[in-house]
C-alpha cells in the first residue's frame, strides 16, 4: 500500500518554532494544522528508540557525548529545550513510542528518519522494528534515511513498510541512475533531495519511475520557493517554520 505524501512535512516537528524533535515541536506542528511530521530516531544504550538528530547530545540537550553511553531513563532527565529558548527547560528527548502514540491519537502521519549512530545501524533498525511490531500504532508512517543499509534492513524486517532514500549529493559511485535503479530494486516509494541538488531533470526522472519526490534544506523553505517546486512536480517540502504557508493551512 502506498501513501500520497502531503505538500508539507514538518521538519523535526517544526524546528523553527520549537525545540526540534520534542513533543512540544510536534504539538506545535499539529496546532498549526500540519498533517505529517518528520523526526530523527536513534537508540539509547538500552536500545530504546528516541528522538535526536546529531551523533552527540551537546547541541540540542544538556547532555554530553554519545547517546549510546546513556540508558533512556538518563536521557529522559536531560533538558532538550533551553538551548532553543531559556523558558523551555522542561522538555526532554522523547521516545519514538511516545511520539507514535501521540500521532496515532491525533491522526498525524510520521516520517521516521533512521538516524543511527555509526556502527549501530543494525541495532537501531532492530529496536525500531520490535517497537512497531509490538505496538501496531494507528498512524500512517514511512521510513527514510541517508543510510542504504538501514533501509534495506528494514525492508527485510518489515516487508510491507513504505521506505524512501535521502540524497545529499552525488558522486561517481552514487550517481542518479544508480540511485533510481536501487530504489526500484528495493521497492522504495520516495526520494528526498537536498535543495542544493534538486533539478527539473531529477524530478522528471523520479516521476517516470513512479517515485515520489521530497525536498529538504538546512534553512526554512519559504512558500514562494515551495510553489516553484510543487509546480515542477515535487510532492513534499520539509518545513521548519510554516508561517508563510498560513493561508493554505487554515
Ligand atoms: O528528511 C529530511 C531531513 O530531515 C534530512 O536531513 O539532517 O534534517 O535529518 P536532516
Ligand atoms: Mg531528519
Question: How many beta carbons lie within 10 A of that of residue 10, not counting itself?
Answer: 30
* For ligand 1, mutation pick of 192, 212, 221 (most atoms within 8 Å of CB): 192
Q: Give mean pLDDT, residues 27-55.
A: 98
Average pLDDT over every residue of 6-11: 98
Give CA–CA dist 174/7, Å, rounded: 27
**Candidate from 9, 13, 36, 113 with most ligand 1 atoms within 8 A of CB, to mutate:** 113
Residue whose Cα lies nearest atom 5 of ligand 1: it is 216
DSSP E strand boundaries for the chain: 8-11, 36-43, 49-51, 109-114, 141-145, 163-167, 190-194, 212-216, 236-239
pLDDT tier, 93 (very low <50, low <70, confident <90, very high otherwise): very high
Pairing of strands 141-145, 36-43: unpaired
So what's the pLDDT on residue 171? Answer: 82
Query: Of 3.20.20.190, 3.40.1260.10, 3.40.50.20, 2.60.40.10, which CATH number belongs to 8-245?
Result: 3.20.20.190
Contacts of 145 (CB under 8 A, 6+ apart): 113, 114, 115, 151, 165, 166
pLDDT band at 136 (very low <50, low <70, confident <90, very high): confident
Q: What is the pTM of this model?
A: 0.98
Q: At residue 172, does pLDDT exceed 70? A: yes
Average pLDDT over the chain, rounded to an integer = 96
| CB of 38 shorter than 6 A to ligand 1 | yes
Predicted local distance difference test score (pLDDT) of residue 1: 65
Domain residue ranges of the chain, discontinuous segments joined by +: 8-245
Q: What is the pLDDT of residue 77?
A: 98
CA 50, CA 43: separation in Å to the nearest integer?
6
**Grid cell in block for residue 100:** 507514535
* 36 in contact with ligand 1, CB cutoff 6 A: no
Amino acid at each position: 500500500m502506498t501513501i500520497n505524501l502531503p505538500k508539507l512535512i514538518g521538519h523535526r516537528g517544526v524546528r523553527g518554532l520549537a525545540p526540534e524533535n520534542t513533543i512540544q515541536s510536534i504539538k506545535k506542528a499539529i496546532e498549526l494544522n500540519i498533517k505529517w511530521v518528520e523526526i530523527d530516531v536513534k537508540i539509547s544504550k538500552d536500545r530504546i528508540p528516541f528522538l535526536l538528530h546529531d551523533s552527540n547530545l551537546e547541541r540540542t540537550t544538556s547532555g554530553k557525548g554519545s547517546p549510546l553511553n546513556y540508558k533512556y531513563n538518563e536521557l529522559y532527565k536531560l533538558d532538550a529545550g533551553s538551548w532553543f529558548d531559556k523558558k523551555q527547560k522542561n522538555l526532554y528527548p522523547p521516545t519514538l513510542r511516545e511520539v507514535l502514540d501521540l500521532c496515532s491519537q491525533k491522526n498525524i502521519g510520521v516520517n521516521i528518519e533512521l538516524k543511527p549512530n555509526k556502527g549501530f545501524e543494525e541495532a537501531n533498525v532492530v529496536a525500531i522494528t520490535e517497537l512497531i511490531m509490538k505496538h501496531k500504532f494507528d498512524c500512517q508512517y514511512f521510513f527514510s534515511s541517508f543510510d542504504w543499509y538501514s533501509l534495506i534492513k528494514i525492508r527485510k524486517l518489515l516487508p510491507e513498510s513504505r521506505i524512501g532514500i535521502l540524497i545529499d549529493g552525488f558522486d561517481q559511485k552514487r550517481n542518479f541512475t544508480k540511485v533510481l535503479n536501487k530504489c526500484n530494486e528495493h521497492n522504495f516509494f520516495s526520494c528526498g533531495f537536498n535543495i542544493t541538488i534538486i533539478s527539473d531533470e531529477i524530478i522528471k526522472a523520479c516521476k517516470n519511475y513512479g517515485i515520489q519526490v521530497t525536498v529538504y534544506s538546512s534553512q526554512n523553505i519559504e512558500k514562494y520557493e515551495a510553489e516553484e517546486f510543487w509546480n515542477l512536480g515535487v510532492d513534499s517540502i520539509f518545513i521548519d517554520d510554516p508561517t508563510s504557508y498560513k493561508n493554505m493551512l487554515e
